[in-house]
Chain A
């Protein structure tokens, strides 16, 4: 179980997160929706300590740490229980696809080379990129890079994978293949927190949808509740605009 309690974060005078709490059960797929600047990405980054929150606590499994005062040892422990998929892929440019996937296993977890290689190859095969294992990131398309990014996260068997707008840097044709891989991650029963603008993905895959705006959680519930019967005015507003935009896209 993962629990974030009373997370607060501001950049200068600009308050990004006002007291945000989320509870995630094992195997849940949480999709966080919301307009730009609502604090979705910041929340995700605070969980992985890529950003240091100003207050709040984080519980992963048995371990509870203070989001502000965590020691570097605690931060490392949390990071080794979580994995992150970046918006712009952020593959290690100096390593091949296979080496990218192996890096965490070998350097962070000290798994023997041969075992790590086998595991990394299996995971690359699972995202359909075994043939590209010796390619450098610059030789891969955006969709392929993101699939390697997902493999790099999945191979670590983390308690939770955090997806930060994993498809928003991709062109529309490549979004599908990447979403399909993310969907199969969900089917493996891995706990996930996904920040995305893909509404149909949220409807299909999410076990819980969280709608954020202005640093608050406006509404949370099952996809059916949020998409069909939103309670809050702000949610209705947001969905009306997004869904009409999506329909236009199909025309």
Chain B
């Protein structure tokens, strides 16, 4: 199997063209995952009645579904019900007006939420119960203790795990190709439909993902270093 650098170059260019889609498919889920993840983690750490056990069951169930399967289900549900749904709400839009990228974003967001919640919850449990009690004992409210004492200690512990989750989401975003969304992976093999240079196409996609994840990891390491000044002397 030969390697054609011209085809490879074409594939890289075509893949980069679709980078904005990959950005959408990663950064929106990461943001949603962070916000919902923190919220759910706090609900579970503080054992809020009703919600904490409910969310625990939901997350355990959802984590057992592979991302591809979830995507297929949402896509099918979308195609089967959208027109009826629009009719009920008297919306004058048809299925074709909706960009299917939102299905991908939805599925990735739910997965990111589950994984990030687990990371954040784990980091919460690394903070000693005495830290909460010390906060209460000097007269801080629950919220003040959370904001000023607990969260600053949770962040440095959670960051390495969250970086992992973020890199996982970036790579997971390539899976949305199966419901016909064109992102970096699908984009890289677009030229191959004419030239049959699939090998060059996949290598191009790998290269783009690799650079993207390396940059994200470098950025995350820099933040991690800033966050742990009080732990520097912990052995």
| Cα separation A104 to B144 with both chains bound (whole Å) | 10
| Cα separation A50 to B136 with both chains bound (whole Å) | 8
Interface status of B128 (Cβ within 8 A of chain A): yes
With contacts A90-B133, A92-B134, A156-B138 taken as known, whether A108 is within 8 angstroms of B144 at the C-beta atoms is: yes
A93: chain B residues at CB < 8 Å are: 131, 153, 230-231
Within 8 A of B (CB), among A178-208: none
Residue of A nearest to B145 (CB): A107
Pick the contact of A108: B131, B139, B231 (CB < 8 A).
B139
Interface residues on B, range: 20 to 34
With contacts A92-B149, A94-B153 taken as known, whether A79 is within 8 angstroms of B136 at the C-beta atoms is: yes
Contact present for B233 and A79 (CB under 8 Å): no
A103: chain B residues at CB < 8 Å are: 135, 138, 140, 148-149
| Cα separation A83 to B133 with both chains bound (whole Å) | 11
With contacts A90-B133, A107-B144 taken as known, whether A79 is within 8 angstroms of B230 at the C-beta atoms is: no
Residue of B nearest to A88 (CB): B130
A49: chain B residues at CB < 8 Å are: 136
CB distance from B171 to the nearest CB of A (A): 33
Contact present for B139 and A86 (CB under 8 Å): no
Within 8 A of B (CB), among A198-245: none
Residue of A nearest to B141 (CB): A76
* Number of interchain pairs (Cβ within 8 Å): 74
Interface status of B215 (Cβ within 8 A of chain A): no
| Cα separation A125 to B229 with both chains bound (whole Å) | 25
Residue of B nearest to A136 (CB): B230
| Cα separation A80 to B152 with both chains bound (whole Å) | 23
Interface status of A147 (Cβ within 8 A of chain B): no
Interface residues on A, range: 20 to 34
Interface status of A40 (Cβ within 8 A of chain B): no
Contact present for B138 and A94 (CB under 8 Å): no
Within 8 A of A (CB), among B96-155: 128, 130-131, 133-141, 144, 148-149, 152-153
Contact present for A109 and B139 (CB under 8 Å): yes
CB distance from B116 to the nearest CB of A (A): 22
Residue of A nearest to B139 (CB): A108
A137: chain B residues at CB < 8 Å are: 230
Pick the contact of A80: B128, B139, B229, B231 (CB < 8 A).
B139
Interface status of B6 (Cβ within 8 A of chain A): no
B1: chain A residues at CB < 8 Å are: none
Interface status of A152 (Cβ within 8 A of chain B): yes
Contact present for B133 and A104 (CB under 8 Å): no
Interface status of B77 (Cβ within 8 A of chain A): no
Residue of B nearest to A79 (CB): B139
Hey, which bits of chain B sit against chain A, CB under 8 A?
A: 128, 130-131, 133-141, 144, 148-149, 152-153, 229-231, 233-234
20 A-B pairs within 8 Å (CB atoms) are namely: A48-B136, A50-B133, A83-B137, A83-B138, A84-B133, A84-B137, A86-B130, A90-B133, A90-B134, A91-B134, A92-B135, A94-B153, A103-B135, A103-B148, A107-B144, A136-B229, A136-B230, A137-B230, A152-B138, A153-B138
17 additional A-B pairs beyond A50-B137, A90-B128, A90-B134, beta carbons within 8 Å, are A48-B137, A49-B136, A50-B136, A76-B141, A80-B139, A84-B134, A86-B130, A88-B130, A92-B134, A94-B152, A103-B148, A103-B149, A107-B140, A108-B144, A138-B233, A139-B233, A153-B138
